[in-house]
Structure 1
Protein backbone atom coordinates (compact mmCIF):
# COMPACT_ATOMS: atom_id res chain seq x y z
CA UNK A 1 0.00 0.00 0.00
CA UNK A 2 0.97 3.63 -0.46
CA UNK A 3 0.71 6.04 2.50
CA UNK A 4 0.63 9.81 1.82
CA UNK A 5 0.52 12.27 4.71
CA UNK A 6 0.26 16.05 4.83
CA UNK A 7 0.09 18.49 7.73
CA UNK A 8 0.66 22.14 8.61
CA UNK A 9 1.37 23.74 11.99
CA UNK A 10 -0.61 26.86 12.98
CA UNK A 11 0.89 28.80 15.88
CA UNK A 12 -2.05 30.28 17.84
CA UNK A 13 0.05 31.87 20.58
CA UNK A 14 3.51 31.56 22.12
CA UNK A 15 2.34 28.45 24.01
CA UNK A 16 -0.35 26.84 21.84
CA UNK A 17 -0.22 25.40 18.33
CA UNK A 18 -2.67 23.31 16.30
CA UNK A 19 -1.57 20.92 13.56
CA UNK A 20 -4.32 19.59 11.28
CA UNK A 21 -3.39 16.79 8.93
CA UNK A 22 -4.67 14.27 6.43
CA UNK A 23 -3.53 10.71 5.77
CA UNK A 24 -4.40 8.94 2.51
CA UNK A 25 -3.86 5.18 2.33
CA UNK A 26 -4.03 3.85 -1.22
CA UNK A 27 -4.83 0.17 -1.72
CA UNK A 28 -5.05 -0.81 1.97
CA UNK A 29 -4.10 -4.40 2.81
CA UNK A 30 -2.71 -4.67 -0.75
CA UNK A 31 -6.13 -5.58 -2.08
CA UNK A 32 -7.70 -3.90 -5.11
CA UNK A 33 -11.11 -4.78 -3.63
CA UNK A 34 -10.60 -2.30 -0.76
CA UNK A 35 -11.42 1.38 -1.19
CA UNK A 36 -8.78 4.01 -0.38
CA UNK A 37 -8.83 5.26 3.21
CA UNK A 38 -8.65 8.97 4.08
CA UNK A 39 -8.07 9.91 7.73
CA UNK A 40 -8.21 13.41 9.21
CA UNK A 41 -6.20 14.39 12.28
CA UNK A 42 -5.85 17.36 14.63
CA UNK A 43 -2.99 17.73 17.11
CA UNK A 44 -2.90 20.43 19.78
CA UNK A 45 0.45 21.23 21.41
CA UNK A 46 0.89 23.15 24.66
CA UNK A 47 4.37 24.31 25.66
CA UNK A 48 5.39 25.54 29.09
Structure 2
Protein backbone atom coordinates (compact mmCIF):
# COMPACT_ATOMS: atom_id res chain seq x y z
CA UNK A 1 0.00 0.00 0.00
CA UNK A 2 1.44 3.35 -1.07
CA UNK A 3 0.85 6.33 1.15
CA UNK A 4 1.93 9.94 1.24
CA UNK A 5 2.76 12.08 4.23
CA UNK A 6 2.84 15.87 4.42
CA UNK A 7 6.33 17.31 4.85
CA UNK A 8 6.61 19.43 7.99
CA UNK A 9 9.13 21.71 6.26
CA UNK A 10 7.56 22.55 2.89
CA UNK A 11 4.03 21.15 3.16
CA UNK A 12 4.26 18.95 0.06
CA UNK A 13 2.95 15.36 -0.01
CA UNK A 14 5.80 12.84 -0.10
CA UNK A 15 6.08 9.06 -0.16
CA UNK A 16 9.74 9.06 0.86
CA UNK A 17 11.80 11.00 3.36
CA UNK A 18 12.40 10.89 7.10
CA UNK A 19 10.48 10.48 10.34
CA UNK A 20 12.06 12.78 12.94
CA UNK A 21 11.31 12.28 16.64
CA UNK A 22 11.65 15.60 18.44
CA UNK A 23 10.50 15.47 22.05
CA UNK A 24 7.27 13.47 21.96
CA UNK A 25 6.35 14.51 18.40
CA UNK A 26 7.10 12.69 15.14
CA UNK A 27 7.51 15.06 12.19
CA UNK A 28 7.82 13.99 8.56
CA UNK A 29 10.37 15.63 6.25
CA UNK A 30 10.99 15.14 2.54
CA UNK A 31 14.59 14.55 1.35
CA UNK A 32 14.78 18.16 0.07
CA UNK A 33 13.98 19.67 3.49
CA UNK A 34 16.27 17.32 5.43
CA UNK A 35 19.31 17.23 3.14
CA UNK A 36 22.00 16.92 5.83
CA UNK A 37 20.86 14.02 8.02
CA UNK A 38 24.16 13.83 9.93
CA UNK A 39 23.93 17.49 10.95
CA UNK A 40 20.33 16.95 12.08
CA UNK A 41 21.43 13.96 14.21
CA UNK A 42 23.75 16.31 16.14
CA UNK A 43 20.78 18.49 17.18
CA UNK A 44 20.17 17.82 20.89
CA UNK A 45 16.39 18.25 20.53
CA UNK A 46 16.11 15.44 17.95
CA UNK A 47 15.91 12.02 19.58
CA UNK A 48 15.73 9.81 16.46
CA UNK A 49 15.68 9.97 12.65
CA UNK A 50 14.41 7.09 10.51
CA UNK A 51 14.20 6.91 6.71
CA UNK A 52 10.87 5.80 5.21
TM-score, normalized by length of structure 1?
A: 0.23
- Which has the larger share of strand? 1
Task: Select the structure of larger CA radius of gyration.
Answer: 1
TM-score, normalized by length of structure 2?
A: 0.22
